[in-house]
Amino acid sequence: MASEGEYFVRELDVDVLNTSLKLYQVFKGDVGCVVWDAAIVLGKYLEELYKKDATYFHNLSVVELGAGVGCPGLFAACFGAKVILTDLHEMVPLLAKNIAENSGEFKKNNGTAQTLALKWGESPPTDLLRPNLILLADCIYYKECIDKLITTLKNLSGPNTKILISQELRDTGHQQDYWNYFLETVQKYFLPRFVPLEHQNQEFRSQDIVLMELWPLKN
């Protein structure tokens, strides 16, 4: 667990609620220690959904995978969802800090947030199964994880689970190949629907960030 001087805070407005989230990040650590742009795009897209239907998130069960700092999941909790933020075991203390620092915001709308360790490819605990919504931001970035991540998506989701993925497309290294492999493989099990830029938040959207829904294929 980092000490107070090792954190730096990113404040993100939740305009529709006239409030903001304080996301605690850590100077030293792996990629999950900071909030990535794809996570902000996804969080702000959830805000667009809330603007259209303020009841959408009430009691909605949400699981975020590879949550890092927890940005989109924390937006969902502010809108009234029951959220479980997951990541590797070592990321759980940072997620717990971000839940504690922002819990006053979720309570206003009866939202809740908890954190649990979940490594992709391993059996998920039963209380995570079949949520209404799974969130995933900027998690397709190394080859070895892709099949395991898809296994976790298959294991977690029920027939009515919607998955929302936000991914920055980078032209460095093999990033484009990894994304293409993910897309090709995931479509064996899920139907993709890309969210057009004009349906996203006007300020927080980008040509370089893909936002898409996945729905389980009916057998």
List contacts with ligand SAM (CB under 6 A). Answer: 30-32, 35-36, 38-39, 66-69, 71, 87-88, 91, 119-120, 137-139, 141, 145
Per-residue CA distances from 39 to 2, 83, 171, 204 (Å): 22, 15, 19, 10
Per-residue CA distances from 9 to 14, 26, 99 (Å): 16, 9, 14
Return the axis-axis angle of helices 143-156 and 175-186, rounded to nearest 10°.
Answer: 30
Residue closer to ligand SAM, measured from CB, 75 or 141 = 141
Residue closer to ligand SAM, measured from CB, 67 or 76 = 67
User: For residue 98, is it left (φ>0), alpha (ψ between -120 and 50) or beta?
Assistant: alpha
Nearest residue to ligand SAM, using CB? 32
Residue closer to ligand SAM, measured from CB, 14 or 67 = 67
Minimum Å distance from CB 16 to ligand SAM? 21
158 burial level (CB within 10 Å; 0-12, 13-18, 19+) = exposed
Minimum Å distance from CB 218 to ligand SAM? 28
Residue closer to ligand SAM, measured from CB, 34 or 183 = 34
Residue type, 89: H
Minimum Å distance from CB 40 to ligand SAM? 8
Output the six-digit token pair for 18: 């006239």
Minimum Å distance from CB 152 to ligand SAM? 8
Minimum Å distance from CB 55 to ligand SAM? 26
Residue closer to ligand SAM, measured from CB, 108 or 177 = 177
Reference 188, options 150, 148, 145; nearest CA is: 150
Residue closer to ligand SAM, measured from CB, 107 or 144 = 144
**SS3 category, 112:** strand
Minimum Å distance from CB 12 to ligand SAM? 11
Output the six-digit token pair for 63: 């699981």
